[in-house]
């Protein structure tokens, strides 16, 4: 499944097939302006005020969505259940969010780490997790699936999409990353790792059957996306988001 561009002042791509199911799911990109459309919460590259204006512009791109919840991420495994909210709500310490509240956007930031979108179009629930290698090793995706199940979702109904992140041809890591992800260490102690491939396997082992992956790589396509690896740690952040369209059945 490929994310497709959406026209408008906020540069973004969406999973258009999910919109027909009453689910908005997408991610921002650099855009064509200079400076690029950075949504990083750290304030290191782009002034905080400008970043906040951009987050609000993203929310306002979707009429009927009264609230958006994001978090200062810590590369952990907490997936937090979110109730109704108004305006932009910034929390701390969660690397994933889930909700059954229509009109609430959930957001995570990424620049090589993989945003994983989960949607239950039958039970009307959604979740979004930020999966770097530490989150993958800690089981953030199985944890998100377990939370959806605990709230009433049937795992066979879940749609799981591993979004735009660094691909297996670009992600060279050490033996500790392979070990943390439950993989055999390659000869020489390091090598290339397909993080999205590990996530697909985790989703399958959790019982999901409707799984897709993005065809796009944040590092291969640095002209479009932010890449921590590609920039040597100096790049901005994209914002992945998901929400239930109000009034959709």
> pLDDT by residue (tens digit) across 157-204?
999 999 999 999 999 999 999 999 999 888 878 899 999 999 999 999
The answer on pLDDT for 47 being more than 90 is: no
The answer on pLDDT for 248 being more than 70 is: yes
Any idea which fold 4-243 has?
Answer: 3.60.140
Token pair 């987050």 is found at 55
What are the pLDDT digits (tens) for 95-154?
999 999 999 999 999 999 999 999 999 999 999 999 999 999 999 999 999 999 999 999
For residue 11, the model assigns a pLDDT of 97
Q: What is the SS3 assignment for 98?
A: strand
Rounded to whole angstroms, how far apart are CA atoms 203 and 186?
A: 24
Q: What angle do CA 95, 221, 52 make, to 5 degrees?
A: 45
Q: What is the SS3 assignment for 30?
A: coil
For residue 228, the model assigns a pLDDT of 92
For residue 187, the model assigns a pLDDT of 81
For residue 111, the model assigns a pLDDT of 95
The answer on pLDDT for 70 being more than 70 is: yes
Q: How much is the pTM?
A: 0.96
What are the pLDDT digits (tens) for 116-128?
999 999 999 999 9
The answer on pLDDT for 244 being more than 90 is: yes
Q: What is the SS3 assignment for 67?
A: strand
Look up residue 36 and give its two tokens.
Answer: 């690029």
Q: Where are the domains of the chain?
A: 4-243
Average pLDDT, the chain: 94
Share of the chain above pLDDT 70, in %: 99
Of 149, 158, 236, which is closest to residue 204 (Cα–Cα)?
Answer: 158
Q: What is the SS3 assignment for 79?
A: strand
Cα-to-chain-centroid distance, residue 88: 17
What are the pLDDT digits (tens) for 8-35?
999 999 999 999 999 999 999 999 888 8
Rounded to whole angstroms, how far apart are CA atoms 75 and 49?
A: 24
**CA distances to 1, 25, 88, 196 from 16, in Å:** 10, 8, 24, 21
């Amino acid at each position: 499944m490929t994310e497709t561009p959406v026209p408008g002042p906020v540069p973004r791509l969406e999973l258009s097939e999910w919109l027909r199911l009453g689910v908005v799911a997408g991610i921002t990109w650099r855009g064509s302006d200079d400076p690029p459309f950075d949504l990083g919460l750290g304030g290191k590259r782009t002034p905080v005020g400008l970043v906040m204006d951009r987050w609000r512009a993203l929310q306002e791109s979707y009429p009927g969505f009264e609230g958006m919840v994001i978090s200062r991420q810590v590369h952990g495994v907490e997936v937090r259940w979110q109730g109704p909210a108004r305006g932009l709500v910034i929390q701390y310490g969660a690397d994933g969010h889930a909700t059954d509240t229509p009109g609430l956007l959930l957001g995570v930031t990424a620049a090589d780490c993989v945003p994983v979108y989960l949607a239950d179009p039958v039970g009307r629930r959604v979740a979004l997790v930020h999966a770097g290698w530490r989150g993958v090793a800690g089981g953030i995706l199985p944890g998100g699936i377990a939370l959806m199940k605990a709230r009433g979702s049937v795992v066979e109904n879940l749609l799981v999409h591993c979004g735009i992140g660094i691909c297996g041809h670009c992600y060279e890591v050490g033996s500790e990353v392979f070990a943390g992800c439950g993989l055999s260490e390659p000869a020489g102690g390091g090598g290339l790792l397909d993080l999205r491939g590990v996530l697909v396997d985790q989703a399958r082992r959790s019982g999901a059957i409707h799984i897709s992956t993005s065809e796009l790589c944040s590092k291969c396509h640095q002209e479009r996306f932010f890449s921590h690896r590609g920039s040597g740690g100096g790049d901005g952040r994209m914002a992945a988001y998901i929400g239930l369209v109000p009034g959709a059945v």
